[in-house]
Chains A and B, each alone.
Chain A
């Protein structure tokens, strides 16, 4: 799913009139209409609802109903009260993305250049775990990182962890879970762009540069940048919005903003605050993505 999702909507490909192969007329609209209507009704309109809800009178409730009071204060309140989980989400998301990038790059590079005829099999293996329930897999991490498990035991033996040190209910566990769960989102776009690189270019660079590392940083890395950008976006966005890992592997001290939004909605029934927090998260992500894409110099990706 991720390799295709990484590609922004294709640019209008209509160079010369001959043979665009596209027909004009009403049929196009008819084919598109049902799907588009669904997206408008259940994606565009709800987003409008979310914006509206975030500006409702915070004193409203399910029983008394809500009033539109343009309560911009909801945003101030949400930020004031929940800035910690908000920043934590972005921070954990960023670290997990970085780990995914390192692990994913090694894996994608190995598949693209070193796997030979095992390429397809390895790609299948990358996606295979991803098709097993997200929650069940995350629960396994609970077992792996358990206080009396062998990971903690080994780390204690190596004196990396103190004798009563633990991994569960720490940021380490949450970031480890996030890294694990979103790795395929990184590997597939990275592989897609590494696979396009002509291995002869790398050979040519080893012919021209003294050291393979120089060749890597001067040739392979720049050519794989589109994959790096879409991979990091595809990892960062869901990872920073996720709360499953934080709730299952962390403690209340590692709470992420998704969990806060969820419980504001379903437990506290504080819809305006939940909506405002949701909007803040969305806007922060959009801003970070725009800045990042601009810095990476690959604006044509969006």
Chain B
């Protein structure tokens, strides 16, 4: 085999790292819109209808609620997000325990029922619920509670799947060991099972909140005159977006990154010396 020519050293580096470089480019591409969101949060627009960077300002950060209806919508989204996360996490965790730890007729049918809402397009889920509300005479009462009902429904499946995966990955022998070491069933649950499943439940709750907070298609069909944050953005997209929307977008991004980083650091610490 002929020796590689000296000039090919750079070429070889590129060839060896080509996939990584391309991957990083794809990753960078996913961050371009985020960068725009952050940038625009410091924008003083020339006019309400022009969506372009004009001049730097901190006003948007100083007055995030310049449009009170935006902050109303935001508050509503947070309320709905917290409430539906709470309910979906509790119900979903219980169901996950049932599906992993208990044996009963209809277990696989239940697994299928949990899976289907995740596989159906959102527009179909939303229209179905609206059809039900209309058919049962609730079309006049669309609002906070119908949104809540819808959000719990689609968050539930994701919670079940996340907690189920965590539970199924747990070594049965741990609970048997606890029982063997004089822990009653209640002590076994609170001292061993729950602490070990908790990270899964926490992750499911975070996912659930972000799904609820960010949902537009299902919400828009079942909200009536109530406005959530995504619906507010939808509305102003036609008639001029206040730059404060980007402040909220930036904060959401920072908060989620912070949560992930904290979680990751915790993980690292736990696995510290495994290597």
Give the B-binding residues of A (Cβ under 8 A): 1, 4-5, 7-10, 12, 19-25, 27-32, 34-36, 38-40, 42-47, 49-50, 52-53, 62, 66, 103-104, 106-107, 109-111, 113-115, 120-122, 124-129, 131-144, 146, 148, 180, 183-184, 233, 237-238, 240-244, 248, 257-258, 261-262, 265-266, 271, 274-275, 278, 281-282, 285
Contacts and interface: CB of A to CB of B under 8 A. Distances in A.
Given A243-B217, A278-B124, 19 more contacts: A4-B165, A7-B161, A9-B115, A12-B107, A22-B103, A31-B97, A32-B104, A46-B125, A109-B19, A113-B19, A122-B27, A132-B253, A133-B229, A135-B233, A140-B37, A144-B33, A243-B123, A258-B217, A278-B128
A46 B135 CA distance: 9
Nearest to B176: A21
Interface size class of B (residues with CB under 8 A): 35 or more
B156 A46 contact: no
Nearest to A271: B134
User: Interface residues of A: mostly helix, strand, loop or mixed?
Assistant: helix
User: Interface residues of B: mostly helix, strand, loop or mixed?
Assistant: helix
A84 to B, nearest CB: 17
Given A9-B115, A10-B111, A143 B20 contact: no
B262 to A, nearest CB: 11
Given A135-B234, A237-B121, A129 B33 contact: yes
Given A10-B111, A124-B264, A134-B216, A114 B23 contact: yes
B216 A244 contact: yes
B119 interface: yes
Interface string B75-108: 0000000000000000110110111111110011
A139 B252 contact: no
Nearest to A24: B103
B202 interface: no
Contacts of B241: 139
Contacts of A31: 94-95, 97-98, 102
A99 B26 CA distance: 12
9 contacts: A28-B107, A34-B94, A36-B95, A49-B131, A114-B23, A120-B264, A127-B260, A134-B214, A266-B220
B257 interface: yes
A44 B132 CA distance: 10
Contact of A135 (B34, B124, B216, B256): B216
A53 B135 contact: yes
A138 B249 CA distance: 11
A264 B27 CA distance: 38
B40 interface: yes
Interface in B210-224: 210-211, 213-214, 216-217, 220-221
Given A115-B20, A140-B40, A262-B221, A241 B30 contact: no
Contacts of A275: 127, 131
Contacts of B264: 120-121, 124
B92 to A, nearest CB: 6
A139 B33 CA distance: 8
A136 B217 contact: no
A136 B249 contact: yes
Given A133-B214, A139-B233, A50 B131 contact: yes
A22 B127 contact: no
B153 interface: yes
A136 B131 contact: no
The 5 closest A-B pairs by CB, nearest first: A110-B23, A28-B102, A241-B121, A9-B111, A131-B256
Nearest to B25: A106
A240 B121 contact: yes
A103 B26 contact: yes
Contacts of B26: 103-104, 106-107, 110, 183
A8 B115 contact: yes
B30 A140 contact: no
Given A53-B131, A131-B210, A241-B121, A23 B101 contact: yes
A148 B36 CA distance: 15
B13 to A, nearest CB: 13
B149 to A, nearest CB: 6
Given A46-B132, A52-B131, A133-B214, A1 B23 contact: no
